[in-house]
Amino acid sequence: MYENDNKYDYGYNEGAQARGCGHYEQKAYNPIIKTVAEAEGFTLRTIESVGVKYEIVWDGEVLNRYPNLKTAETFFMDFAGITKAKYNKIKNAA
Q: Which sequence spans correspond to the domains of the chain?
A: 32-93
Average per-residue pLDDT for the chain: 80
Quick check: 22 pLDDT over 90? no
Contact 50, 56 (CB under 8 A): no
pLDDT in tens, 65-74: 999 999 999 9
Average pLDDT over residues 66-85: 94
Cβ atoms within 10 Å of 14's Cβ, excluding its own: 5
Which pLDDT value is given to residue 93?
A: 79
- What crossing angle do the helices spanning 84-93 and 69-80 adopt, rounded to 10°? 110
Q: What is the pTM of this model?
A: 0.65
Higher pLDDT, 65 or 25: 65
How many angstroms from the chain centroid is the CA of residue 91? 22
Cβ-Cβ contacts under 8 Å for 84 (sequence gap 6 or more): 77
Residue among 14, 62, 53, 72 nearest 87 (CA):
72
Quick check: 5 pLDDT over 60? no
